[in-house]
Chain A
Amino acid sequence: DIQMTQSPSSLSASVGDRVTITCRASQGISNHLNWYQHKAGKAPKLLIYGASNLQSGVPSRFSGSGSETDFTLTISSLQSDDFATYYCQQSFNTPGTTFGQGTKLEIK
């Protein structure tokens, strides 16, 4: 099994801040890494696929980078709508897939 580890587990930030969330894979996964935003009571939302590709309709303040084992999700200027939990997901060893444990982004 490929394990995905996110850091930090939680993060406090203010509107306008630049925020970076890290995801590390237990083995190389090329760029088969996706990022999701999840708000309580809502369906998760795909933000980034293939490590760095912005899903259609997602604001450009979101960006992703990385390859093999180390990945980052960056929000360039936090908006009030961005406070949520963020998950990374590896899709390298299909059919199986695994998610990180999540990073909860809270208002400071």
Chain B
Amino acid sequence: QAQLQESGPGLVKPSQTLSLTCSVSGGSISSGNNHWNWVRQPVGKGLEWIGRIYASGSAAYNPSLRSRVTISIDTSKNQFSLKLTSVTAADTAVYYCARANWFGKLLTFDAFDIWGQGTLVSVSS
């Protein structure tokens, strides 16, 4: 069973860049047709999808964050990463990485079946 673990600074200054890495263990990031996602949860609020990437490097982003987000993947290290530029206090949140897998007889349903424990990133001077 694959496991995911987020890592990165817990404190970022306003206007700077938030950088996080998700390390995948117990399975290859390149196997299957999984896609690898970042999701965040501001304190006291719900879950917000940030974006996703396939092992091929094909990425997609939440339109509300697209201008500030880059997700990349390093298959040799079995990791994928998030960069969010020009952060403000509104970007303070618990950040999760998650694997999306395909389900159903025809593999038509994708859902996030494995998640990291999450890491709190605070934006403050």
CB neighbours (8 Å) of A46 from chain B are: 111-113
Contacts of A49 in B (CB 8 A): 103-104, 109, 111
Supplied contacts A49-B111, A50-B108, A96-B60, 20 more A-B pairs, CB within 8 Å: A34-B111, A34-B112, A38-B47, A42-B117, A43-B96, A43-B117, A44-B96, A44-B112, A44-B115, A46-B111, A50-B104, A50-B111, A55-B111, A87-B47, A91-B111, A95-B60, A98-B49, A99-B46, A99-B48, A102-B46
Interface of A, helix, strand, loop or mixed by DSSP: loop
Q: Which residue of A lies closest to B118 (CB)?
A: A43
Closest to A100 in B: B46
Residue of B35, B49, B96, B108 touching A96 (CB-CB under 8 A):
B49
Cβ–Cβ < 8 Å partners of A87 in chain B:
46-47
Does B7 lie at the interface of the complex (its beta carbon under 8 Å from any beta carbon of A)?
no
Flag if B62 contacts A43 (CB, 8 Å).
Answer: no
Any A CB within 8 A of the CB of B14: no
The total number of A-B Cβ pairs within 8 Å is 65
Residues of A67-108 whose CB lies within 8 A of B: 87, 89, 91, 94-102
Q: Which residues in B have their C-beta under 8 angstroms from that of A101?
A: 46
Closest 10 CB pairs of A and B: A95-B60, A43-B115, A50-B109, A49-B111, A99-B47, A34-B111, A102-B46, A101-B46, A49-B103, A49-B109
* A38 to B, closest residue via Cβ: B47
A89–B49 CA distance with the chains assembled, in angstroms: 10
Check A1/B48 contact, CB under 8 A, given A34-B111, A44-B115, A91-B110: no
Measured CB to CB, the residues of B under 8 A from A are 35, 46-49, 52, 60, 62-63, 96, 98, 103-104, 108-113, 115-118
Contact assessment for B62 and A96 in the assembled complex, using a CB-CB cutoff below 8 Å: yes
Q: Are B111 and A1 in contact (CB under 8 A)?
A: no
Closest CB in chain B relative to A38 CB, distance in Å: 8
Asked if B113 and A102 make an inter-chain contact with CB atoms under 8 angstroms apart, the answer reads: no
CB proximity of B98 to chain A, nearest CB, Å:
8
Instruction: List residues of chain A with CB within 8 A of the CB of B52.
Output: 95
Closest residue of B by beta carbon distance from A42: B117
